Structure 1
């Protein structure tokens, strides 16, 4: 019998998600809907961290609260930490230094990797919930160095998406949100033909990633793609094949 080691309170849910304190509904595909994930996750709500405070104001004022919640998740058995807001890229360095496990605060951290996938002359565009408050500091904190080559688009002027989420509405017209995303996607491809891929900053945009892909014809990366990759490092897929199984590639 193999030796097993303890030391955790919870087993089998190695990914911890730091959540803003919000009341808006979270549909399938949203990071805050636990059925979105193909694996178990653990959540911690950071009290007082509203969407407005994190996106429109300075999330660094709340960084100690995020660190405390992250350490609670680690104590509960998590081997990796993520968050439910791309603007928390600003907290990446502080949280990563304060907890003993890997931290992936923002979907924006994918930008350098996505850029490396494309040929010369192609750009990675960002679609954000708030173009007006996404700053170079956020991008630099996410590891983006070529700021002039990363165009930013937003849903700020749309019907519902930005307003309903940042103002924390308890009722949301998700058809209107979908149309906001489609309109923004069209703006992206109509503005710059050198754009070769899109990164969705906002974790609430995941349910519409396929719509963006359909409208633009471009690869679309989100917190869903990022966290699935992140989780594979925390819990690699097991392939218990018998040696005589043809799938083992030995015959």
Structure 2
């Protein structure tokens, strides 16, 4: 074989070792049956890039959000390991309350892991002018504990508002009282929580949405409050950008 042909074969070699290619991000999903509308993390059309999903059977939103995921860690570790074996180069989850498992999942799979949208709080705080702070809207303020916050690097005195008293969002997503979702009522629950948050603390300069089902309402909240809104979509698009940096053309 000539040197030319030998060089061509080397440069065109495709590397193996994965089961699935072209989707470096793996998402651990809770086991639920409510509608996942565009913008929801569990709707594959939300993402501008391919993703891999794995549903952790038995990990209901109620168990994870209201019972701190007790007994579910081995199931999440196994599912994360399965995603990596499938081809994922990084792992995220579809519930911000899984910040409690951040350290364990990361140690187990030994790839980058971002379990919770709450991990953005310190970054966003660094962007705000002096005297302003980040606030959090969560699906369940009553059960978002100091342990959840600490695991995500969030100060314990961060202002928080929840949707537990709303008419739709909490009832459908956590209590599973029905399988359909009134989108207008769900949007209103998010807006009400945002208004309550800023009315209690006028120093809030930006908001992070803990729940991965809240991004469909982020634009409405931004328009209503006039504040920057961050969520799992903003975090994971950033996260993925490091996995597949954009290749820029040379020259001008």
- What TM-score do the two structures reach when normalised by structure 2? 0.93
Larger Rg: 2
Structure 2 counterpart of 1:93: 103
Structure 1 counterpart of 2:160: 152
Match of 1:122 among 132, 135, 139: 132
Structure 2 counterpart of 1:161: 169
C-alpha distance in 2, partners of 1:218/1:147?
22
Structure 2 counterpart of 1:249: none
Deviation at 1:188, TM superposition (A): 2.0
How large is the Cα RMSD of the aligned pairs? 1.0
Deviation at 1:226, TM superposition (A): 0.4
1:51-103: CA deviation from partner (whole Å, max 9, x where unpaired) = 00000002142011001000100000000000000000000010000002100
Match of 1:191 among 200, 207, 210: 200
C-alpha distance in 2, partners of 1:103/1:190?
34
C-alpha distance in 1, partners of 2:250/2:123?
35
Structure 2 counterpart of 1:200: 209
Aligned length: 241
Deviation at 1:114, TM superposition (A): 0.6
Q: Are residue 31 (structure 1) and residue 37 (structure 2) matched?
A: no
Deviation at 1:6, TM superposition (A): 1.1
Structure 2's unaligned 5+ residue stretches are: 1-7
CA contact (8 A) 1:16 1:80 kept: yes
CA contact (8 A) 1:16 1:78 kept: yes
- What pairs up with 1:53-92 in 2 under 5 angstroms? 53-92=63-102
Q: Are residue 179 (structure 1) and residue 172 (structure 2) matched?
A: no
Deviation at 1:4, TM superposition (A): 2.9
Classify the secondary structure of the residue corresponding to 1:218. Answer: coil
C-alpha distance in 1, partners of 2:83/2:250?
37
Stretches of 4+ moved more than 6 A in 1? none
C-alpha distance in 2, partners of 1:123/1:242?
41
CA contact (8 A) 1:60 1:91 kept: no
Classify the secondary structure of the residue corresponding to 1:59. Answer: coil
Q: Are residue 224 (structure 1) and residue 233 (structure 2) matched?
A: yes
C-alpha distance in 2, partners of 1:178/1:58?
26
- What TM-score do the two structures reach when normalised by structure 1? 0.94
